[in-house]
């Protein structure tokens, strides 16, 4: 007898829990009619252009890519994109961007390493990059540590077909009045970029 009463009690509690859950789900999903028409409700649910609208938009959409300063194509289908060139207070310029492999094979960045013997330690990297100041008629080579390692991206693995990967490179800063330079690496065409303050 006690067993039957216990089972009935459990069934009643289970039914009550399910009913409560369904009721809360329906209430939570209901839009609530506050007297506005469908189009007014749709309009009022959108974030306003003022206030937190920009924050809401940023949360609902994927982050936008950085501004493109320059983009060049070459070396049998590679695309070099530069997204940032910032002058830092330490007396150097950091250039950042991406490279997309549009060739028919994997890409090893061999021609981007440079021809200098000291740079061979850098493997697949951006070590051979340079900034050319046309105005001051100077060429700035990539910064290196005391062992000849470049202050730049070293690609840990080959870049596969269709793959895009990030890179960075640091250079001595040209004079303050030089704001435009050409970025050159490997067999890629020069890319004219504007330096901003970091």
pLDDT in the model for residue 51: 43
Number of H helices and number of E strands within the chain?
3, 9
| Sequence-ordered list of residues with C-beta below 8 angstroms from that of 123, at least 6 positions apart, any chain | 113, 154, 155
- Write the pLDDT tens digit of every residue in 50-86: 444 443 433 333 334 568 999 999 988 999 999 999 9
70-197: CATH number = 2.60.40
> What average pLDDT does the segment 167-185 reach?
95
pTM summary value: 0.65
- Write the pLDDT tens digit of every residue in 141-158: 999 988 888 999 999 889
Token pair recorded at residue 60: 């609902």
- Write the pLDDT tens digit of every residue in 80-126: 999 999 999 889 999 999 999 999 999 998 889 888 877 777 888 99
Q: Name the percent of the chain in helix, strand, coil, to the closest 5.
A: 25, 30, 45
Do 62 and 89 meet the contact criterion of CB atoms below 8 Å apart? Answer: no
Q: Is 40 helix (H, G, I), strand (E, B) or coil?
A: helix
CATH code 2.60.40 region(s) in the chain: 70-197
pLDDT in the model for residue 195: 95
């Amino acid at each position: 007898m006690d067993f039957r009463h216990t089972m009935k009690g459990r069934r009643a509690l289970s039914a009550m829990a399910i009913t409560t859950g369904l009721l809360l789900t329906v209430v939570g999903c209901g839009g609530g009619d506050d007297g506005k028409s469908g189009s007014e409700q749709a309009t009022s649910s959108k974030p306003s252009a003022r206030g937190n609208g920009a924050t809401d938009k940023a949360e609902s959409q994927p982050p936008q890519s950085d501004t493109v300063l320059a983009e060049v194509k070459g070396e049998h289908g590679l695309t070099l994109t530069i997204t940032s060139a910032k002058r830092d207070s330490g007396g150097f310029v950091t250039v950042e961007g991406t490279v997309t492999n549009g060739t028919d094979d994997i890409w090893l960045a061999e021609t981007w390493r440079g021809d200098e013997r000291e740079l061979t330690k850098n493997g697949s990297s951006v070590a051979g990059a340079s900034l050319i100041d046309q105005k001051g008629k100077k060429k700035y080579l990539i910064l290196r540590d005391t062992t000849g390692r470049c202050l730049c991206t070293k690609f840990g693995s080959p870049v596969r077909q269709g793959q895009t990967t990030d890179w960075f490179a640091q250079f001595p800063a040209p004079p303050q009045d030089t704001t435009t330079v050409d970025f050159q690496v490997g067999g890629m065409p020069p890319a004219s970029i504007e330096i901003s303050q970091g």
